């Protein structure tokens, strides 16, 4: 276990939702597991709270419930964790407040990390204020998504931040890259010779990537209504997953080798012609419905959402990659809120046998398929056909399972924990480089533009379903269907 990197971790947005649910619990878990250097400090920065005591009170009330395991908190670890936490009250409009921060930081040795868990409109002002007091030297800056609203605004932020921090100092976080199964996908693809010859257009018929949520917009209606699923999930998480599934084997696992290969895929995405958008992109918005027995309201009646909102809570896309490995293979991506189930998975449909000596049912669906389940219950499942016991040659779909929690009972790590440790240790591979981000924005932009001016509203779907019928129809045009529709 590596604990050697001493650090000072400055958390802007210290009382925000993300700090409460993800960042502070991840730091606590790293502390509890003995993965943080003993002298490492966390300096929370916020506006709403005046003193350290008041901040610790907030942490006790809001963060502690998120660190419990089976309802129990490791109290001695919790006390030790709180001892690491310092607090600086900052008003962005007062440059002298940053001098207080500088003095607080100067009291500690170690890698300086500035984590901006704030809205993107504060990224540049915070970076400038840090530079004014010299805190951009020997430091790393972590930028949360969304980084901008479109290509132009993201470039504006990247340009301004780039004047203050070098690219090697900038950690653009996409928490999907920190998920254990996504790491495993790299291990599966590049640690085994078995899959490589099959991982291409000759053998793969289509690939589906789904990130489905049961949750709605929670308390983020205001933010979400100005964002929508394309910006919130597709531009980043789904395109990152797609690039990991389809990238060429990197020369090594160093940060630029991996990111160079992902970038090649993002640049090879077939540009979408505005006239074709209705054929390759479906946008939906949920109406009231029932999810697992629970009634939920329509998106348009959620707090913070405009009644006439045209924001999409569901997106399904057909994507193509213009390179030798993938030419002609359709990739179907989909994400949505208030869907029937919470599931994130990648389905690789291999081509059926070209001729079946075993009868027609050897060509049927349910075989020649690899399903990589990212959450919940991480598994990799290979579906094959096998003979049913008994007389005759009757085939049935069976699967080989790699259930990670059975193989590896310990050491599982939450995405944020892994990523925060990577920042502290200076590993950039799981963070998005500027050019990748630009390529992803460039690719989604025609869809964003078209949907912004389209007179057609998003297609309705009832909460608790798998999205609008048009999503299934899009796959049907390619002679296929979403995995759950097969059963």
Which lies closer to ligand BG6 via its Cβ, residue 210 or residue 349?
210
Rounded Cα distance between 81 and 282, Å, is: 46
Report in angstroms how near the CB of residue 123 gets to ligand BG6 at its nearest. Answer: 16
Q: Which of residues 385-404 bind ligand BG6 (CB under 6 A)?
A: none
Report in angstroms how near the CB of residue 198 gets to ligand BG6 at its nearest. Answer: 28
Show the tokens assigned to 487: 């059963």
92 in a known ligand binding site: yes
Report in angstroms how near the CB of residue 374 gets to ligand BG6 at its nearest. Answer: 8
Burial of 463 (0-12, 13-18, 19+ CB in 10 A): buried
Rounded Cα distance between 238 and 447, Å, is: 15
Report in angstroms how near the CB of residue 363 gets to ligand BG6 at its nearest. Answer: 35
Nearest to 44 by CA among 4, 8, 3: 8
337 in a known ligand binding site: yes
Report in angstroms how near the CB of residue 173 gets to ligand BG6 at its nearest. Answer: 9
The structure tokens 């097969």 sit at 486
- Please give the radius of gyration of the chain, using alpha carbons only, rounded to the nearest integer: 24
Q: Which of 74, 132, 205, 213 binds ligand BG6 (CB under 6 A)?
A: 213
Show the tokens assigned to 5: 């990197």
Draw the binding track, 293-332, toward ligand BG6 (x: CB under 6 A; -: no contact): ----------------------------------------
Nearest to 440 by CA among 150, 96, 11: 150
Rounded Cα distance between 345 and 328, Å, is: 22
Rounded Cα distance between 445 and 235, Å, is: 9
Which lies closer to ligand BG6 via its Cβ, residue 285 or residue 368?
285
Rounded Cα distance between 116 and 127, Å, is: 9
Which lies closer to ligand BG6 via its Cβ, residue 78 or residue 286?
286
Rounded Cα distance between 333 and 316, Å, is: 6
Q: How far is CA 133 from CA 86, 100, 411, 458, in A?
A: 19, 10, 40, 47
Three-state secondary structure readout of 352-420 = CCCCCCCCHHHHCCCCCEEEEEEECCCEEEEEEEEECCCCCCCEEEEEEEEEHHHHCCCCCCCHHHHHH
Report in angstroms how near the CB of residue 149 gets to ligand BG6 at its nearest. Answer: 14
Draw the binding track, 344-373, toward ligand BG6 (x: CB under 6 A; -: no contact): x-----------------------------
Rounded Cα distance between 266 and 188, Å, is: 21
Residues that bind ligand BG6 (rule: CB under 6 A) add up to a total of: 4
Q: State the catalytic residue, choosing from 89, 237, 287, 399.
A: 237
b/e 210-242 (16+ beta carbons within 10 angstroms → b): bbbbbebbeebbeebbebbbbbbbbbbbbbbbb
Which lies closer to ligand BG6 via its Cβ, residue 175 or residue 318?
175
Q: Which of residues 249-288 bind ligand BG6 (CB under 6 A)?
A: none
Which lies closer to ligand BG6 via its Cβ, residue 101 or residue 147?
147
Which lies closer to ligand BG6 via its Cβ, residue 315 or residue 344?
344
Nearest to 84 by CA among 131, 44, 134: 44
Q: Which of 232, 302, 378, 450 binds ligand BG6 (CB under 6 A)?
A: 232
Contacts of 57 (CB under 8 A, 6+ apart): none
Report in angstroms how near the CB of residue 40 gets to ligand BG6 at its nearest. Answer: 25
The answer to whether 237 is a known catalytic residue is: yes
214 binds ligand BG6 (CB under 6 A): no
Nearest to 464 by CA among 236, 193, 215, 210: 215
175 in a known ligand binding site: yes
47 in a known ligand binding site: yes
89 in a known ligand binding site: no
Which lies closer to ligand BG6 via its Cβ, residue 88 or residue 117?
117
Q: How far is CA 344 from CA 377, 407, 468, in A?
A: 10, 21, 18
Q: Which of residues 160-189 bind ligand BG6 (CB under 6 A)?
A: 175
Report in angstroms how near the CB of residue 89 gets to ligand BG6 at its nearest. Answer: 27
Rounded Cα distance between 426 and 418, Å, is: 12
* In the complex, residue closest to ligand BG6 by CB: 232
Report in angstroms how near the CB of residue 392 gets to ligand BG6 at its nearest. Answer: 45
Which lies closer to ligand BG6 via its Cβ, residue 280 or residue 430?
430
Q: Which of residues 416-445 bind ligand BG6 (CB under 6 A)?
A: none
Which lies closer to ligand BG6 via its Cβ, residue 180 or residue 232?
232
179 in a known ligand binding site: yes
| C-alpha dihedral (470, 474, 475, 481), degrees to nearest 10 | 10
Active-site amino acid positions: 237
Would you list which residues are annotated within the binding site? 47, 91-92, 145, 175, 179, 213, 232, 337
- Interface contacts to ligand BG6, rule CB under 6 A: 175, 213, 232, 344
Would you list which residues are annotated within the binding site for substrate? 175, 179, 213, 232, 337
Would you list which residues are annotated within the binding site for NADP(+)? 47, 91-92, 145
């Amino acid at each position: 276990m590596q604990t050697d990197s001493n650090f000072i971790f400055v958390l802007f947005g210290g009382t925000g939702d993300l700090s409460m649910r993800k960042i502070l619990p991840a730091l606590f878990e790293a502390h509890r597991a003995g993965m943080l250097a003993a002298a490492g400090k966390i300096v929370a920065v916020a506006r709403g709270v005046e003193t350290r005591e008041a901040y610790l009170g907030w942490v006790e009330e809001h963060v502690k419930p998120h660190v419990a395991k089976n309802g129990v908190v490791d109290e001695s670890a919790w006390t030790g964790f709180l001892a690491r936490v310092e607090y600086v009250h900052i008003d962005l409009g007062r440059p002298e407040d940053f001098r207080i921060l500088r003095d607080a930081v100067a009291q500690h040795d170690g890698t300086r990390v500035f984590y901006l868990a704030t809205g993107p409109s504060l990224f540049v002002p915070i970076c400038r204020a840090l530079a004014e007091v010299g805190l951009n030297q020997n430091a790393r800056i972590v930028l949360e998504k969304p980084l901008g609203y479109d290509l132009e605004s993201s470039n504006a932020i990247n340009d301004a931040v780039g004047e203050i921090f070098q690219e090697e100092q900038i950690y653009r976080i996409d928490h999907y890259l920190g998920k254990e199964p996504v790491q495993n996908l790299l291990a599966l693809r590049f640690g085994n010779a078995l899959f490589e010859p099959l991982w291409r257009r000759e053998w793969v018929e289509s690939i589906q990537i789904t990130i489905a949520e049961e949750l709605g917009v929670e308390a983020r209606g205001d933010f979400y209504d100005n964002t929508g699923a394309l910006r919130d999930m597709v531009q980043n998480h789904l395109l990152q997953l797609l690039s990991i599934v389809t990238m060429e084997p990197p020369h090594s696992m160093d940060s630029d080798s991996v990111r160079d290969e992902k970038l090649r895929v993002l640049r090879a995405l077939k540009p979408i012609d505005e006239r074709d958008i209705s054929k390759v992109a479906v946008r939906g918005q949920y109406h009231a419905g029932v999810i697992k027995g629970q009634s939920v309201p329509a998106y348009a009646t959620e707090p913070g959402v405009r009644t006439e909102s045209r924001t999409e809570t569901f997106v399904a896309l057909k994507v193509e990659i213009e390179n030798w490995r993938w030419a002609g293979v359709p990739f179907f991506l989909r994400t949505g809120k208030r869907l029937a189930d919470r599931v994130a998975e990648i389905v690789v449909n291999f081509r059926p046998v070209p001729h079946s000596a075993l009868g027609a049912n050897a060509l049927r669906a349910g075989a020649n398929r690899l399903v990589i389940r990212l959450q919940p219950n991480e598994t990799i499942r290979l579906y094959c056909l096998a003979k049913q016991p008994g007389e005759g040659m009757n085939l049935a779909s069976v699967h080989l399972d790699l259930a990670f929690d059975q193989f590896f009972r310990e050491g599982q790590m939450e995405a944020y924990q892994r990523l925060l440790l990577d920042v502290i240790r200076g590993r950039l591979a799981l963070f998005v480089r500027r050019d990748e981000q630009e390529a992803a924005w460039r690719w989604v932009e025609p869809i964003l533009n078209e949907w912004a001016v389209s007179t057609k509203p998003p297609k309705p779907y009832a909460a608790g379903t798998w999205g609008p019928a048009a999503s299934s129809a899009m796959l049907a045009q390619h002679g296929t269907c979403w995995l759950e529709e097969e059963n």
